[in-house]
Protein backbone atom coordinates (compact mmCIF):
# COMPACT_ATOMS: atom_id res chain seq x y z
CA UNK A 1 0.00 0.00 0.00
CA UNK A 2 1.18 3.52 -0.75
CA UNK A 3 2.23 5.95 1.94
CA UNK A 4 0.83 9.45 1.88
CA UNK A 5 2.32 12.02 4.23
CA UNK A 6 0.18 13.04 7.21
CA UNK A 7 0.23 16.71 6.23
CA UNK A 8 -1.08 15.79 2.76
CA UNK A 9 -3.89 13.72 4.26
CA UNK A 10 -4.72 16.60 6.61
CA UNK A 11 -4.89 19.01 3.65
CA UNK A 12 -7.15 16.56 1.79
CA UNK A 13 -9.48 16.26 4.80
CA UNK A 14 -9.62 20.04 5.28
CA UNK A 15 -10.45 20.63 1.61
CA UNK A 16 -13.36 18.19 1.84
CA UNK A 17 -14.64 19.85 5.03
CA UNK A 18 -14.26 23.32 3.52
CA UNK A 19 -16.30 22.27 0.48
CA UNK A 20 -19.41 21.15 2.41
CA UNK A 21 -21.04 24.61 2.77
CA UNK A 22 -20.84 25.09 -1.02
CA UNK A 23 -23.02 22.04 -1.70
CA UNK A 24 -26.32 22.64 -3.48
CA UNK A 25 -28.81 20.42 -1.67
CA UNK A 26 -32.19 22.21 -1.55
CA UNK A 27 -34.18 18.94 -1.68
CA UNK A 28 -32.43 16.52 0.67
CA UNK A 29 -30.58 19.15 2.73
CA UNK A 30 -27.78 16.55 2.86
CA UNK A 31 -24.64 18.51 2.01
CA UNK A 32 -21.54 16.60 0.95
CA UNK A 33 -17.98 17.72 0.26
CA UNK A 34 -15.19 15.66 -1.24
CA UNK A 35 -11.56 16.17 -2.13
CA UNK A 36 -9.35 14.07 -4.41
CA UNK A 37 -5.59 13.71 -4.19
CA UNK A 38 -4.41 13.21 -7.76
CA UNK A 39 -1.25 11.51 -8.95
CA UNK A 40 0.38 14.90 -9.53
CA UNK A 41 -0.02 15.73 -5.83
CA UNK A 42 -2.69 18.36 -6.52
CA UNK A 43 -5.97 18.35 -4.59
CA UNK A 44 -9.30 18.92 -6.31
CA UNK A 45 -12.59 19.37 -4.48
CA UNK A 46 -16.25 18.98 -5.30
CA UNK A 47 -19.72 19.14 -3.76
CA UNK A 48 -23.01 17.41 -4.37
CA UNK A 49 -25.28 19.32 -6.72
CA UNK A 50 -28.93 18.30 -6.60
CA UNK A 51 -31.52 18.89 -9.31
CA UNK A 52 -35.32 19.01 -9.32
CA UNK A 53 -35.05 16.01 -11.67
CA UNK A 54 -33.30 13.83 -9.08
CA UNK A 55 -31.25 11.61 -11.43
CA UNK A 56 -29.66 14.74 -12.96
CA UNK A 57 -27.80 15.52 -9.72
CA UNK A 58 -24.17 14.63 -9.08
CA UNK A 59 -22.43 13.41 -5.94
CA UNK A 60 -19.51 15.33 -4.44
CA UNK A 61 -17.08 12.49 -5.06
CA UNK A 62 -17.85 12.31 -8.78
CA UNK A 63 -17.78 16.10 -8.98
CA UNK A 64 -14.27 16.18 -7.44
CA UNK A 65 -13.06 13.38 -9.72
CA UNK A 66 -14.50 15.15 -12.77
CA UNK A 67 -12.73 18.35 -11.67
CA UNK A 68 -9.43 16.43 -11.51
CA UNK A 69 -9.94 14.62 -14.83
CA UNK A 70 -11.00 17.86 -16.53
CA UNK A 71 -7.75 19.41 -15.30
CA UNK A 72 -5.71 16.71 -17.03
CA UNK A 73 -5.26 14.21 -14.18
CA UNK A 74 -5.70 10.49 -14.82
CA UNK A 75 -4.85 8.86 -11.49
CA UNK A 76 -6.45 9.18 -8.05
CA UNK A 77 -4.36 8.35 -4.98
CA UNK A 78 -6.92 9.19 -2.28
CA UNK A 79 -10.31 10.76 -1.72
CA UNK A 80 -11.84 12.30 1.39
CA UNK A 81 -15.61 12.57 1.78
CA UNK A 82 -17.79 14.12 4.46
CA UNK A 83 -21.34 15.29 4.77
CA UNK A 84 -24.58 15.32 6.62
CA UNK A 85 -27.96 16.94 7.01
CA UNK A 86 -27.67 20.73 6.83
CA UNK A 87 -23.89 20.42 6.78
CA UNK A 88 -23.52 18.51 10.06
CA UNK A 89 -20.56 16.22 9.33
CA UNK A 90 -20.42 14.53 12.73
CA UNK A 91 -21.46 11.14 11.34
CA UNK A 92 -19.96 8.86 8.71
CA UNK A 93 -20.78 9.64 5.07
CA UNK A 94 -19.65 6.79 2.84
CA UNK A 95 -19.48 7.06 -0.96
CA UNK A 96 -22.44 5.55 -2.81
CA UNK A 97 -22.00 2.59 -5.15
CA UNK A 98 -21.86 4.69 -8.31
CA UNK A 99 -19.12 6.88 -6.81
CA UNK A 100 -17.15 3.80 -5.78
CA UNK A 101 -17.32 2.51 -9.34
CA UNK A 102 -16.18 5.87 -10.75
CA UNK A 103 -13.28 5.89 -8.30
CA UNK A 104 -12.35 2.44 -9.57
CA UNK A 105 -11.89 3.83 -13.06
CA UNK A 106 -9.07 6.11 -11.93
CA UNK A 107 -7.25 4.31 -9.12
CA UNK A 108 -5.72 1.08 -7.99
CA UNK A 109 -8.33 -0.30 -5.56
CA UNK A 110 -5.69 -1.92 -3.35
CA UNK A 111 -3.82 1.38 -2.93
CA UNK A 112 -6.41 4.16 -3.25
CA UNK A 113 -7.33 5.52 0.17
CA UNK A 114 -10.90 6.55 0.99
CA UNK A 115 -11.13 8.80 4.05
CA UNK A 116 -14.56 8.99 5.68
CA UNK A 117 -14.37 12.28 7.56
CA UNK A 118 -16.15 13.49 10.69
CA UNK A 119 -13.80 16.38 11.50
CA UNK A 120 -10.27 17.55 10.79
CA UNK A 121 -9.08 15.29 13.60
CA UNK A 122 -11.48 12.38 13.17
CA UNK A 123 -11.68 10.23 10.08
CA UNK A 124 -11.63 6.55 9.14
CA UNK A 125 -9.39 5.22 6.38
CA UNK A 126 -10.24 2.39 4.00
CA UNK A 127 -8.87 1.22 0.68
CA UNK A 128 -11.24 1.26 -2.25
CA UNK A 129 -10.87 -2.54 -2.30
CA UNK A 130 -12.34 -2.58 1.23
CA UNK A 131 -15.39 -0.68 0.00
CA UNK A 132 -15.70 -2.24 -3.46
CA UNK A 133 -14.44 -5.83 -3.28
CA UNK A 134 -14.19 -7.94 -6.43
CA UNK A 135 -14.58 -4.79 -8.52
CA UNK A 136 -14.85 -4.42 -12.28
CA UNK A 137 -12.42 -1.93 -13.74
CA UNK A 138 -10.50 -0.79 -16.79
CA UNK A 139 -8.06 -3.69 -16.40
CA UNK A 140 -10.78 -6.34 -16.78
CA UNK A 141 -9.80 -9.20 -19.11
CA UNK A 142 -11.17 -8.68 -22.60
CA UNK A 143 -12.13 -5.04 -22.06
CA UNK A 144 -11.04 -2.96 -25.02
CA UNK A 145 -9.20 0.27 -24.31
CA UNK A 146 -10.33 3.42 -26.06
CA UNK A 147 -6.67 4.44 -26.52
Which residue ranges make up each domain of the chain?
A: 6-131
11's enclosing H/E stretch is helix 6-19
Please tell me the pTM assigned to this model: 0.93
Q: Which of 5, 50, 61, 105 is catalytic?
A: 61
Beta-carbon contacts of residue 120 (< 8 Å; ≥ 6 apart)? 10, 13, 14, 17
Closest CA to 77 of 11, 147, 123: 11
The answer to whether residue 105 is catalytic is no
The residue among 80, 73, 89, 75 whose CA lies nearest residue 31 is: 89
Per residue of the chain (147 residues), give pLDDT as tens.
668 999 999 999 999 999 999 999 999 999 999 999 999 999 999 999 999 999 999 999 999 999 999 999 999 999 999 999 999 999 999 999 999 999 999 999 999 999 999 999 999 999 999 999 988 888 888 776 655
**What is the distance between the alpha carbons of residues 127 and 108, in angstroms, rounded to a whole number?**
9
Distance (Å, whole) CA 35 – CA 33:
7
Buried b (16+ CB within 10 A) or exposed e, 11-33: ebbbbbbebbeebebeeeebbbb
Evaluate whether 12 touches 78 at the Cβ level (below 8 Å): yes
- The fold adopted by the segment(s) 6-131 is Cytidine Deaminase; domain 2 (3.40.140)
Amino acid sequence: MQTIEDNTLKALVCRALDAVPRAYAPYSHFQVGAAVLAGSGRIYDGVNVENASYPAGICAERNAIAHAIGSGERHVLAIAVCGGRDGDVSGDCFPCGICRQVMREFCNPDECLVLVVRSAESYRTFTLADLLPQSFGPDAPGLRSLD
